Amino acid sequence: MNVETREEIYNQARAWVLQAGTIIREKINDPLTVETKSNPNDLVTHMDKETEQFFASLIKETYPDHSLLSEEGFGDDLQSLVDTVWIVDPIDGTMNFVHQKRNFAISIGIYHDGIGEIGLIYNVMDDILYSAKRGEGAYKNDDRLAHLRENVQLHEAILSLNHFWLCENRLVDETRMQHLVKTVRGTRTYGSAALEFAYVAEGILDGYLTLSLAPWDVAAGIVIVNEVGGVTTTISGEPVDMLGRNSVFTGNPAIRKPVIKDFIEKGKK
Ligand code: 2AM
Ligand code: CA
Ligand code: CA
Ligand code: CA
């Protein structure tokens, strides 16, 4: 993708994200229609669907040759990532949106021939936009984010993870994960994968571990984290498959190796 085309698409995407966020903020106290999906805690609201439709219709109208990969069913059924693909999560952190009316984000990754070119993560209620273009650095609103800290030790790291890791799970022995929690300086759980990626990029988290995410949970975050020297892989150290679900580690490269080698590999089922 050439730089001028990318700049034009970035400016358009940024304007749409801010516009969608303004609409959500205006309607934040309106009554919600909440439905469940794969299980009683897997929620979706009319606002998730309306926001996705907002992007789907604008993208189709403005860029008819681009494709859309998205959570709530208004995207395309893609078998590959050729040409330009928008990977959109209209509301990431729907449970937070429903229960807290904050701590959720709009997440948009724009990929060309499988390469992440643009990432946008918008913390709607705080009006904070994390953004990046490949090779041009990452930003929190207008402030450029610094490169991640060098030589971070695991015992000085803050790690974000879902508490499910500490319960019996199909991937890793929970006692190993409890040992990891006791080894690091502190753990957090925010309930929005996109925001957790953004916090890794900002350097306020050193890593984020998660069991199973979809492409729209990670597409924007990977681009933004890359720009500050972070790495994102599955918990086996493989590249993330942008057309399937993945376990994910994202974070400072200095802690990736010990987390994966000394804890996850040893506890793997
Ligand atoms: P969502 O809010 O867009 O569904 C919650 O820990 C994080 O995991 C959120 O980013 C959430 O995205 C994501 N997630 C991915 N798959 C999920 C699922 N099946 N149920 C609930 N959250 C899921
Ligand atoms: Ca969801
Ligand atoms: Ca999501
Ligand atoms: Ca979502």
3-state secondary structure 234-269: CCCCCCCCCCCCEEEEEECHHHHHHHHHHHHHHHEC
Question: Measured in whole angstroms, how far is the alpha carbon of residue 137 from the centre of its chain?
Answer: 17
CATH class, 3-144 region: alpha beta
What is the CATH number that goes with domain 154-267? 3.40.190.80
Average pLDDT, the chain: 97
Please tell me the distance from the alpha carbon of residue 18 to that of residue 63, in angstroms, as a whole number. 19
Confidence at 147, pLDDT banded by 50, 70, 90: very high
The pLDDT of residue 175? 95
Ligand nearest to the CA of 95: 1
| Residue 58 pLDDT > 90 | yes
Say which residues have a Cβ less than 8 Å from residue 63's Cβ, sequence separation at least 6.
9, 84
The pLDDT of residue 269? 85
19-28 pLDDT, tens digit each: 999 999 999 9
Please tell me the distance from the alpha carbon of residue 45 to that of residue 32, in angstroms, as a whole number. 7
User: CB within 6 Å of ligand 1 — which residues?
Assistant: 38, 42, 89, 92-94, 162, 191-193, 213-214, 217
Give the N- to C-terminal CA distance of the chain in Å, as an integer.
41
Annotated binding residues for Mg(2+): 71, 89, 91-92, 217
Residue 253 tokens, joined: 């490269």
The pLDDT of residue 170? 86
| Residue 67 pLDDT > 90 | yes
Residues with CB under 5 A from ligand 4 (ion): 71, 89, 91-92
Q: What is the ipTM of this complex?
A: 0.98
The pLDDT of residue 53? 98
Q: How many residues does the chain have?
A: 269
Confidence at 171, pLDDT banded by 50, 70, 90: confident
Distance 132 CA to ligand 3 centre (A): 19
Q: What are the residue ranges spanned by the domains of the chain?
A: 3-144, 154-267
Beta strand 158-161 pairing with 186-188: parallel
CA angle 252, 125, 33 (to 5 degrees): 110
Please answer whether residues 117 and 110 qualify as being in contact, where contact means their C-beta atoms are separated by less than 8 angstroms: yes
187-216 pLDDT, tens digit each: 999 999 999 999 999 999 999 999 999 999
Ligand 1 atom at minimal distance to the Cα of residue 89: 3
Query: What pTM was estimated for this model as a whole?
Result: 0.97
Work out the average pLDDT over 168-175. Answer: 91
Confidence at 226, pLDDT banded by 50, 70, 90: very high
